Structure 1
Amino acid sequence: MQVLEIRGPDIICLVKNSASLVGSVFTMHVSQVHIDLPTLTDVDRQLRAFIKAHNLHETQIFAKIETVEGLRHFDEILQEADGVILSRGNLGIDLAPEKVFLFQKSAIYRCNMVGKPAIITRVVDSMTANLRPTRAEATDVANAVLDGTDGILLGPETLRGLYPIEAIRTVGRICAEAEGVYNLPLHFKRIVKHVGEPMSHAESVASSAVRAAITVKASMIVVFTSSGRAARLIAKYRPLVPVFAVVIPRLKTNSLKWTFTGSSQARQLLGVRGVYPILASPNVATSGGSSEESGLKLALDHGKSVGLLKPNDQVVVFQKIGDSSVVKIVALEDQHYI
């Protein structure tokens, strides 16, 4: 619609094209207009108070970029957010069609370089009413994977679409096919070049773990973590093999009760490309020096059960011992590791 005039509280518009409004949820987007409203609403403040009251300090915040203003401040937003959702629906209105792909590639690249998840939306809109996506949509999904995106977020396809299950399965198959031809070694080199030298201690060890996995042709990487940071750093370098993150619970207290952390950290790792979190039991966390040994056995047993490991395979293990970070290679022999 095009605004013709404003009469008090009323806005007179000209409908530029015909359309059908389907469903019960509608939003209005005003293109190229700065809306002078507070960024934080009362609902946002209530949510922040709720998070604080329930001690949910591990809560992650993903920034949704959907306007040109968001593009202008992308780097500042990325620095503060835990991840980015690229809302291409509204961006497609604000930006000229020929500019959308440039922003998508640039935004995903910048997220990849700092190791933060990038998620894109609006990929198979035609599947709201059709059983199959268009060829352009299928190619779009594959290109998003090849660009380095961490996830695909379906909206109307599953909210009000006629084929929500088929949409999920179709997008999943396209992503799996694209993953098979994704140039992971090239991505590894790009990130190493971007980080530069001298590397920080954490970056150096994480990249070394991935480089070791490439060199010995390991079948998987096992990383021990409590916060999830180590697993995210390794995933940032896009290893060729799955990363099994063994999340070790930690005992903490708020002066009133004792609780174990770990469940939220493990759930959050599900959103990181290539990472498969395993939440260790509290018994592993309290078993002293044998915790890593028990956690490694847990990861290896799971790897065998899903068919990722077989006799004589090698596994790269990343763990912290005291103040030191250690990368070691474990060889499996006759269903046992040595």
Structure 2
Amino acid sequence: MHSGRLLLEEPIRMASILEPSKPNFFHAMTKIVGTLGPKSRSVEVISACLEAGMSVARFDFSWGDIDYHQETVENLKKAVKSTKKLCAVMLDTVGPELQVVNKSERAISLEADSFVVLTPDQEKEASSALLPINFSGLSKSVKPGDTIFIGQYLFTGNETTSIWMEVAELKGDDVVCLVKSGATLAGSLYTLHISQIRVDLPTLSDADKDVISKWGFRNNIDFLSLSHTRHAEDVRHAREFLSKLGDLHQTLIFAKIENTEGLTHFDEILQEADGVIISRGNLGIDLPPEKAEKVFNQDMYFKHTVKHVGQPMTHLESIASSAVRAAIKVRASVIIVFTSSGRAARLIAKYRPTMPVLSVVIPQLKTNQLRWSFTGAFEARQSLIVRGLFPMLADPRHPAESTSANNESVLKVALDHGKASGITKSHDRVVVCQKVGDASVVKIIELED
């Protein structure tokens, strides 16, 4: 019996149960994007969300004005300061979203088999017989027999809080619909979704541009969620607009796929966007559930990956791959990577290591001939959305290999941070990835008592 070999291959040694447990640990490797709304915009609630693991705060501009969301983001800044936890900001655009406006905010009940008129006249009061909408071209976009859904957030028309209707007649700019499922609509704003129909409205509207140039610019947004992305050109147009707004040229664009048109052009969108958000709610209306299984086939994906794995790697990707392999082999507690742009850390995280990746962002000094400033804050916050990646912003006075007056290098600060967070303990192994001069180095260290 080869007992020595057996012990080496055991994923967990039985004796490990006698070792002291780590007091704390980073939150789950999967990151959480939280939408800050009416019930989650106070400093206390936001602080609790940060403590619970929220990494990115999403601001949905389909409701609320600039002043409303500015008050919320100020509360977020206070919560970040009090909890000492980084949090990125994501602005979610409205785009060509169609909305039903209920100024009175009174609940509206619609009965099955009744008729309701959708009108672009927003001055009229919403009722069970008439619903004002924010789009004047609806009657030109639909035809009798088309399906329309109205509700909030995730809806299918089968709940008591959303409506499923069928277009019965077109009267000028008005659309007469037959209610197929009765429900009660509560609130001041509802989303209107037309199944399988293209709405002739720009993806990045003038209202969106106004919000980005004012609120987004003021708050240096880290991510732009581009709602209802339909073509790669939508992403290019948004990026061109951001490039004219100072530091927002660094903002990452996430294409939000919400309809079949976006799915049709998915490959080209993927080439342009920094990330993709799949809107399960709207797509769930347009596509039957069984179609979702065709989107991803694990077996085919694995074979495709193996087929292309022999292609030459870049120098940086080779280092990232080696760091992850080394960490797995020595069962490291954490991978520490020094970076200025964040790219090296993202490449390491791409290989989905089983241990957390601590990204130490080294700020860089830059000037625009008028003032001096440090980069690094954007890069650190944008790392928050990547699986298993936990950023910390280093002191710009201390490069990775230099020491301060107290003889503490940035590496020691990072190791101390790991111990304080409970991610490492004495005698743990740590893999460090950093640049020394022009050379990229991967080294393994063992922590002392």
Q: Distance in 1 between matches of 2:308 and 2:189?
A: 42
1:87 aligns with 2:279: yes
Q: Distance in 1 between matches of 2:429 and 2:307?
A: 27
1:97 aligns with 2:289: yes
Q: Cα offset for 1:301?
A: 0.3
Q: Deviations over 1:219-270 (max 9, x none)?
A: 1100011111111100000001110000111111111110111112111111
1:200 aligns with 2:298: no
Q: Cα offset for 1:213?
A: 0.3
Cα pair distance change 1:306/1:206, threshold 3 Å? same
Cα pair distance change 1:201/1:71, threshold 3 Å? same
Q: Cα offset for 1:26?
A: 1.2
Q: Cα offset for 1:296?
A: 1.1
Q: For residue 320 of structure 1, what is the aligned residue in structure 2?
A: 435
Q: Distance in 2 between matches of 1:196 and 1:26?
A: 50
* 1:242-257 aligned within 5 A: 242-257=356-371
1:274 aligns with 2:400: no
Question: Is the Cα contact below 8 Å between 1:91 and 1:100 reproduced in 2?
Answer: no
Q: Distance in 2 between matches of 1:199 and 1:237?
A: 14
1:70 aligns with 2:262: yes
Q: Cα offset for 1:81?
A: 1.2
Q: Distance in 2 between matches of 1:6 and 1:195?
A: 56
1:217 aligns with 2:331: yes
The one of the two structures with greater contact order (alpha-carbon pairs below 8 A, sep at least 6) is: 2
Q: For residue 8 of structure 1, what is the aligned residue in structure 2?
A: 172
Cα pair distance change 1:72/1:259, threshold 3 Å? same
- Which one has the largest radius of gyration? 2
Q: Secondary structure at the match of 1:217?
A: coil
Q: Secondary structure at the match of 1:56?
A: helix
Q: For residue 264 of structure 1, what is the aligned residue in structure 2?
A: 378
Q: Cα offset for 1:48?
A: 6.3
1:333 aligns with 2:424: no
Q: Secondary structure at the match of 2:311?
A: coil
Cα pair distance change 1:43/1:276, threshold 3 Å? same
**Greater per-residue helix proportion:** 1
Q: Cα offset for 1:40?
A: 3.0
Q: Deviations over 1:291-327 (max 9, x none)?
A: 9x72211211011112222222111111123333221
Q: Secondary structure at the match of 1:326?
A: strand
Q: Which residue identity lines up with residue 352 of structure 2 in the other structure?
A: R
Question: Is the Cα contact below 8 Å between 2:402 and 2:409 reproduced in 1?
Answer: no
Cα pair distance change 1:109/1:289, threshold 3 Å? farther
Cα pair distance change 1:109/1:194, threshold 3 Å? farther
Q: Cα offset for 1:24?
A: 2.9
Cα pair distance change 1:109/1:63, threshold 3 Å? farther
From 406, 409, 418, the equivalent of 1:303 is 418
Q: For residue 241 of structure 1, what is the aligned residue in structure 2?
A: 355
Q: Distance in 2 between matches of 1:8 and 1:322?
A: 71
Question: Is the Cα contact below 8 Å between 2:327 and 2:431 reproduced in 1?
Answer: yes
Q: Distance in 2 between matches of 1:288 and 1:327?
A: 14
Cα pair distance change 1:31/1:303, threshold 3 Å? same
Question: Is the Cα contact below 8 Å between 2:401 and 2:410 reproduced in 1?
Answer: no
TM-score (norm. length: structure 2):
0.52
Q: Cα offset for 1:57?
A: 2.1
Cα pair distance change 1:59/1:99, threshold 3 Å? same
Q: Deviations over 1:131-182 (max 9, x none)?
A: xxxxxxxxxxxxxxxxxxxxxxxxxxxxxxxxxxxxxxxxxxxxxxxxxxxx
Q: Distance in 2 between matches of 1:206 and 1:6?
A: 60
Runs of at least 5 residues in structure 2 that lack an aligned partner in the other structure: 1-164, 218-241
What RMSD, in angstroms, separates the aligned Cα atoms of the two structures? 2.7
Q: Deviations over 1:98-146 (max 9, x none)?
A: 213433x46x999xx9xxxxxxxxxxxxxxxxxxxxxxxxxxxxxxxxx
Cα pair distance change 1:327/1:288, threshold 3 Å? closer
Q: Secondary structure at the match of 1:61?
A: strand
Q: Which residue identity lines up with residue 102 of structure 1 in the other structure?
A: K
Q: Distance in 1 between matches of 2:380 and 2:180?
A: 49
1:26 aligns with 2:218: no
Q: Distance in 2 between matches of 1:190 and 1:206?
A: 21
Cα pair distance change 1:212/1:198, threshold 3 Å? same
Q: Which residue identity lines up with residue 328 of structure 1 in the other structure?
A: K
Q: Distance in 2 between matches of 1:46 and 1:325?
A: 44
Cα pair distance change 1:198/1:241, threshold 3 Å? same
Paired residues in the alignment total: 254
Q: Secondary structure at the match of 1:28?
A: strand
Question: Is the Cα contact below 8 Å between 1:209 and 1:318 reproduced in 2?
Answer: yes
Q: Which residue identity lines up with residue 39 of structure 1 in the other structure?
A: T
Q: Which residue identity lines up with residue 90 of structure 1 in the other structure?
A: N
Cα pair distance change 1:290/1:211, threshold 3 Å? same
From 16, 38, 41, the equivalent of 2:202 is 38
Q: For residue 82 of structure 2, what is the aligned residue in structure 1?
A: none
Q: Which residue identity lines up with residue 419 of structure 2 in the other structure?
A: K
Q: Cα offset for 1:194?
A: 4.6
Q: Which residue identity lines up with residue 57 of structure 1 in the other structure?
A: H
Q: Secondary structure at the match of 2:183?
A: coil
Q: Deviations over 1:192-225 (max 9, x none)?
A: 7654322222221111110000111111100011
Q: Distance in 2 between matches of 1:310 and 1:22?
A: 52
Runs of at least 5 residues in structure 1 that lack an aligned partner in the other structure: 114-186
